[in-house]
Chains A and B, each alone.
Chain A
Amino acid sequence: MTAPREPQRQKSLQSVRDALRDDDGERALALLRELAAPTDPAVSQMRYARLAKEISQKLNAFPIVRIAFLGNATLGHWVDCLRFWLLLEGFQLADLVVPFGTWQQQVLDTDSDLYRFRPDVVWFFLSAEDLDLDAAPGVDSRVASRVVEDAIANVATHVAMVTTKHPALCLVNNLVPPSNRVLGNLAGSHADSLSTLTLSFNLGLSRGLPAGAAVFDIAHLAARYGLDRWEDARLWHHSKHPFALDAQGPVAFAGARVLAAARGCARKCLIVDLDNTLWGGVVGDDGIEGIRIGPDGGAVGEAYARFQVWIKALANRGIALAICSKNSEDLAREPFQRKTGMVLKLEDFAAIRLNWENKADNIRAIARELNIGLDSIVFVDDNPAERALVRAELPMVAVPELPPDPSDFVAALASGMWFEALALTTEDRARVRSYRDNAARAQAQSVATDLESYLSSLQMEAKWGAVDPATLARATQLINKTNQFHLTNKRYTEAQMQSLVESGQSWVGQFTLADRFGEHGIIAVVVLRIDGTQAVIDTWVMSCRVFTRGMEDFVFRIIWRIAKQSGCTGLLGSYVRSAKNAVVAGLYQRLGGAKIESATNDAEPWWFDLAGAEPAGTPHIADISGSDQMQDLPAFSVPVKCL
């Protein structure tokens, strides 16, 4: 939000009015969001407020937040201002300002306008006078503390009364210290100066409030604005405005951010660029020696270090961090690993995108990886072109302007009030860790998704057939060598294998696999015994080279077909546990088998009903054996005693 000159502002306001005339509430609001800054003068804020009222009427989808204001000041102007800034947060304001001098009655009377209004938020806008916060000079410090406690108790009692009668968030202003002091400099250290009483009150307020209430730190806003400018005695005497009109913008902006946070709408993630954002210089050009960070990097290095300290503190309070930088992986990671003066470490980041792709695409990917909405993200980048691109493509992402001087980065980020919260929980601090865990999970998942496309890209082809003299040696070797993918751990000599082949009661098969990188040769062997209507998987081995490629599914489908073709109605597979074959412990279950009771302890029998649906196999492996394979099956006629 740059500050346009007056004629430019007028032109922009006119375009907002034009959008309204065209009934385009959304565009009007977007234009107004571009134009308005919290620090704009009261007259501008009033214009925004008026436009906000009109835009509100056109945008009915925004949720309504009902706020009742309790105080003894003229709040109407400021509430209109708040209405505008709340609209930018996506809320419509329904407001009630209780009449002057009635705040206590409104709270005490169960049938008051306050309760009839059914507020979502009750905002206590009280002053030191309203709370009798004063003590005569010379009074001792115990009396002074008593005065403070009474004032806190007074507020707390009324807040408690509200929350017991009606479930609303109570927002309570703390007190702005006086700009002009009777005791002068001494007021800062004297126990019963109004300054000290105010400070003590503010310190004790949050402790004294009941659950469900939060403090609105208006004292800080006044300090930022400048106490001298904040107080407007003339305005107070004339019309009881609580602070200068030009302070309305900053207070309304802060209020809107805090209220949005109360509704869960604060941002949760900061995505940062690297070069000239986290350090001075471009690591790809200047090298790790040339970039400036920390005291060794001069004033510039110190400024960037201070920015990193700020960002690290954000992470410590639960804001997720991510990197999005146009850089090569190794070069960009090096400073975190080796450069003195760096504050942030790679493990502070829940997601890292280092590539030459479009930043908007990367930000979208980060949002998916961390499982957060784009409207949870703040993106900082020193490059105005990148900022503009992301703003244009991802309007939900907050992209604050960064000033040219890194010394001003902290202020630029902080003044946006992007990460407001009403409380910090242990969950917030744990959230950083949970973002990282989720990211790891998502990465595993994305690996799985990539696995599908990877497997497809392999263009795998399998051939299979009965073991014959040409393949006998290799098949036998595989059975004897394999330990991991071996369901029954049987070992056969070549002679025994030959017998099995010749017996006419088993199908001994071998499978080869090739992909676009080359041939793998024979990688699976199966001995399938046919016993009348039951087929038994006596042996099933597979080379560990081809695990998790879908080969198990391919082989099993062939086993099924052969068993069925041989006239069997049931298929039995056994898992015999060994020290090394845990990898296949769950295989038969995964393939859809039903575990059956076993006489012995060492074998786990699994049964498949061949009347059921044929297993799906795998889409990634093409069967190039030719249909004659199924026709060449030996005739199984003599039942064989099973295992």
Chain B
Amino acid sequence: MTGDNWRIQMLSELQPIFRELFCDERLVISETTSPADLEEWDSMAHVNLLTEVERRFGVRFTAEEMGDTTNVSALLDVLRRKGLGA
């Protein structure tokens, strides 16, 4: 899968996680989605998000990576680096 296709695929897999976490069935995320776009995406929600992503994809973020994933795009970068879909 090409990089872009992989990212599109991952976006579609992350979307239900976001929808559930933020209780919004109609939420649509994109590469640029960040805490600025979602009022409920505070530091607590961030930890929950990463915990859920860890659970669903079987990965574990380092403390540094937890801090680096400030928006969806950065999250995808980190996931890519961790070998998902490589």
Q: Chain A residues in contact with chain B, CB under 8 A?
A: 42-43, 46, 50, 74, 76-77, 80, 233-235, 237-239, 241, 245
Closest 5 CB pairs of A and B: A237-B63, A238-B63, A238-B66, A234-B63, A77-B44
Report yes or no: B67 in contact with A42, Cβ–Cβ below 8 A. no
Closest beta carbon of chain A to B17's beta carbon, Å: 10
Closest beta carbon of chain B to A530's beta carbon, Å: 93
Q: Closest residue to A54 on the B side, CB-wise?
A: B23
Give the secondary structure class of B's interface: helix
Q: Closest residue to B66 on the A side, CB-wise?
A: A238
Instruction: From known contacts A76-B44, A77-B44, A239-B43, infer whether A43 and B51 are also in contact, taking CB-CB under 8 Å.
Output: yes
Closest beta carbon of chain B to A73's beta carbon, Å: 13
User: What are the interface flags for B50-63 relative to A under an 8 Å C-beta threshold, 1 for contact and 0 otherwise?
Assistant: 01100100000111
> Can you list 28 A-B contacts with CB-CB less than 8 angstroms, sorted by A residue number?
A42-B48, A43-B48, A43-B51, A43-B52, A43-B55, A46-B48, A50-B23, A74-B43, A74-B44, A76-B44, A77-B47, A77-B48, A80-B44, A233-B63, A234-B63, A234-B66, A235-B47, A237-B63, A238-B47, A238-B63, A238-B67, A239-B43, A239-B47, A239-B66, A241-B47, A245-B47, A245-B48, A245-B51
Closest beta carbon of chain A to B51's beta carbon, Å: 6
Report yes or no: A42 in contact with B51, Cβ–Cβ below 8 A. yes
Q: Closest residue to A235 on the B side, CB-wise?
A: B47
In chain B between 10 and 44, which residues have their CB closer than 8 angstroms to a CB of chain A? 23, 43-44
Residues of A within 8 A of B67 (CB): 238
Q: Closest residue to A17 on the B side, CB-wise?
A: B23
Q: How far is the CA of A238 from the CA of B44 in the complex (A)?
A: 11
Residues of B within 8 A of A50 (CB): 23
Besides the contacts A50-B23, A74-B44, A77-B44, what 19 more A-B pairs have beta carbons closer than 8 Å?
A43-B51, A43-B55, A46-B48, A76-B44, A80-B44, A234-B61, A234-B62, A234-B63, A234-B66, A235-B47, A237-B63, A238-B47, A238-B63, A239-B43, A239-B66, A241-B47, A245-B47, A245-B48, A245-B51
- Classify chain B's interface size: 10 to 19
Residues of B within 8 A of A42 (CB): 48, 51
Closest beta carbon of chain B to A334's beta carbon, Å: 55
Residues of B within 8 A of A233 (CB): 63
What number of A-B contacts does a CB cutoff of 8 Å give?
A: 33
Closest beta carbon of chain B to A439's beta carbon, Å: 51
Q: Closest residue to B62 on the A side, CB-wise?
A: A234
Residues of A within 8 A of B23 (CB): 50
Q: Closest residue to B22 on the A side, CB-wise?
A: A50
Q: Closest residue to A50 on the B side, CB-wise?
A: B23
Q: How far is the CA of A642 from the CA of B52 in the complex (A)?
A: 102
Closest beta carbon of chain A to B79's beta carbon, Å: 17
Q: How far is the CA of A233 from the CA of B61 in the complex (A)?
A: 12
Q: How far is the CA of A634 from the CA of B17 in the complex (A)?
A: 104
Q: How far is the CA of A379 from the CA of B52 in the complex (A)?
A: 38
Q: Closest residue to A13 on the B side, CB-wise?
A: B20
Q: How far is the CA of A578 from the CA of B21 in the complex (A)?
A: 88
Residues of B within 8 A of A241 (CB): 47
Residues of A within 8 A of B55 (CB): 43
Residues of B within 8 A of A235 (CB): 47
Closest beta carbon of chain A to B61's beta carbon, Å: 8
Residues of B within 8 A of A43 (CB): 48, 51-52, 55
Q: Closest residue to B67 on the A side, CB-wise?
A: A238
Closest beta carbon of chain A to B16's beta carbon, Å: 11
Closest beta carbon of chain B to A232's beta carbon, Å: 10
Q: How far is the CA of A235 from the CA of B43 in the complex (A)?
A: 12
Q: How far is the CA of A238 from the CA of B48 in the complex (A)?
A: 13
Closest beta carbon of chain B to A240's beta carbon, Å: 10
Closest beta carbon of chain A to B18's beta carbon, Å: 13
Closest beta carbon of chain A to B23's beta carbon, Å: 7
Q: How far is the CA of A245 from the CA of B49 in the complex (A)?
A: 12
Residues of B within 8 A of A74 (CB): 43-44
Q: How far is the CA of A470 from the CA of B23 in the complex (A)?
A: 97
Residues of B within 8 A of A76 (CB): 44
Q: Closest residue to B43 on the A side, CB-wise?
A: A239
Q: How far is the CA of A46 from the CA of B23 in the complex (A)?
A: 11
Residues of B within 8 A of A46 (CB): 48
Q: How far is the CA of A77 from the CA of B52 in the complex (A)?
A: 15
Q: Closest residue to B48 on the A side, CB-wise?
A: A46
Q: How far is the CA of A205 from the CA of B42 in the complex (A)?
A: 36
Closest beta carbon of chain B to A275's beta carbon, Å: 44
